[in-house]
Structure 1
Amino acid sequence: MVACYQGFIDIVFLLAECPHLDVNWQDKEGNTALIIAAQAGHITITNHLLNYFPGIDIEKRNVHGFTPLMKASMQGKTDCVRALMLAGADINARDPGRGFTPEQWAQFTGRYGTIFLMRKLLAKPCPVQFSDRYKPEWPKLKELVAKANEPKSCLEKICESITSALTINFPRDPEEDGPMDHMVRMTTAICSPFVATGCRTVCPSDPPCVGERRFTVQEILRKQEVKAPFKKYTKHQKLFQNSQLVVVPKRKERRASLPPLTSLSKHTTGASSRRGSLIPLSLMKLSSVQPGVVVPKVRVFKAPTPTYEPERVQRKSSVKKGGNFLELPQWRYKELKEERKKAEEEEKRKAEEAERERAEKLAAKRRS
């Protein structure tokens, strides 16, 4: 919960490897890790919670009856709203207090950008370009080409020239299913010729859809009965349930390190390589030994006697000048201020001495 609130992405990635973590745990206000990440607007953490934490409950409510989608809609976190809706969050859920849906809560708090996004997703609930059945062909292209190649009379050409000359093109929104929408779909597709995708989806035949519950990567792989990675290391004991860290037997090597990314890519495919790439590079070491856990070095010292008392060192005061301690730095404007103050005091002292001498002379004249 603290990592999701503060936005510590690396910690969330590492916690996904722990099998004893309850991702649906609630605090005193009933907030879960997903609610905290969604209302804070951490889209990377929200996507990782939805995709790599099996058994996560996206409809878990807090003490006020708010779901993660409601909290993200209240705060206007459009990226988190999109991720939750595509993960299958209930858009018709109502809280027990006011009885508002997530869209009504966005309207109540003035999040009009969130309202526009939710209505746009409801109009087109499924990104068809994420499916392997998507064909990057514009359906209207043949019709428009045929219309442009039709023979036109002289009067029609003159009318088109006059119309194009007198027409003023004002900025407007792209057409529905127009060329701009087609270019966006084609360039973001998983089989796009313009974008070299670094990974492929684990379910290319079933793209995400609004209102359809999406499972995590581990659940999808378990459902497809995919064999676990590192199957060749069957004699080794695994450290975590979903981890790729393997303990090396003592008779082979006493100390080992984490496997580099190059060795991981040879033995992993799909989601396993994706999960292995999330390990911070600071933890990865190039070593020739077998992949395993870094064995810590333990130093043992002899315990002191029961009557031992540590020697007390007296600290020198830093107030006295000339000591070994550093003094606070003096700013230039403070030095000038002190010099000006000393000069004024010196002038005042001289004026007082001159006044005293003048008074003594007057007194001497009067006595004489």
Structure 2
Amino acid sequence: MSKDQILAAMQSVLDEAGENSLTDEQCARYEALEGDLKRAQKSEEIQKRNAAYNSVVTSALHVAPAKEDDTLERAFMHYARTGQKNSDITELRAQSVGTDSAGGYAVPTTLLSKMTERLKAFGGVASVADEITTSSGEPLTWVTLDDTANAGVIAAEGTAPASGGADLVFGEKTLGAFKYVAPGASNLPLRVSVELLQDANFNVQSKVFDALTTRIARQQAVDWVTGTGTTEPFGVNTGTAGTAFTSAGITYAELVDAVHGVDPAYRASGKCVWTFNDATLALIEKLVDGNSRPLLNMSTDGISGAPSARLLGFPVVIDQAWATYTDGGTNKWGAFGDLNAGYIIRRVSGFSLVVDPYTRVNEGQVQYSLHARADAVVQDANAFRVLINAV
């Protein structure tokens, strides 16, 4: 019997006697049950001790987290510091045909993520445009179609329609992969002293990568806006329809016209933005309505947080590559619309870093060059309008 069953049987003996004294037979039965209870309790204690012997005390056991495999990153950092390859870095793919030292080495995943974030953070257009990443740089071609000018017609029963739309006219867009290089002074590689690289208390590699990626990002930011499409990407303001501002200075009415220059189908996407540089933003911030309220609304009031600007209900994205709005000239100073639908950036995954510790060895310098490939093109010119000063 279990301990609970024994206790129940003992209580039954007492209930049987009631208020009377226990008989000899009842006393014998009760005492026998007491013996059974002691054996059951002892058996339970033994089982608990045995379970304790076979259990693991988790609070006393320290399990270290799995160590992140950073072998390739450390190997790459060694290469960046010294220019000398080791057995681990051979796993990093060389970026050109020939010797590894001539082609450079692919940046490992962790560092590549840091570099990509740096590129996205530089230049407002890149933050709102569509972006794809490919593993190689061969041309990408896709078909386009603009059939918005055609519509169906009503035809009488049993007769052919009197008129109709045009046949479908398909276009074509192509993305290549221009090579961007981050050099140093006089188009020479970036030079860093050996003494600085040997200083273990200073993260030189991080500074070098930041400098090189910023230089590439700065040029790309200009190309995303003003690129001509010849030996460089197509910029947002190249070959696209514009909204002319003919008044002296930016006016409320012309800003409204710019918004309605984009079809409502695009405006309903929730992705339409204004983009221009900070100097132009300052001019717009000074515009007020008839009640002296600013046209540019700040989503955060007071001084507790950084404001997020909205103009006529749409976000403002600052990109310093745009020209500043000026009267007395004709220039493209911004854009409005759905740039995610209208503009696409193609990046080729991977950067190639070339470290040359030999050319300037007598001067005690190591040379660095970073290569990256990218292209961009307007994929839907109807999705946005370029803002043009026509005075």
User: When the two structures are superposed, what TM-score results if normalisation uses the length of structure 1?
Assistant: 0.19
Which has the larger strand fraction? 2
- Which structure is higher in RCO with an 8 Å CA cutoff and minimum separation 6? 2
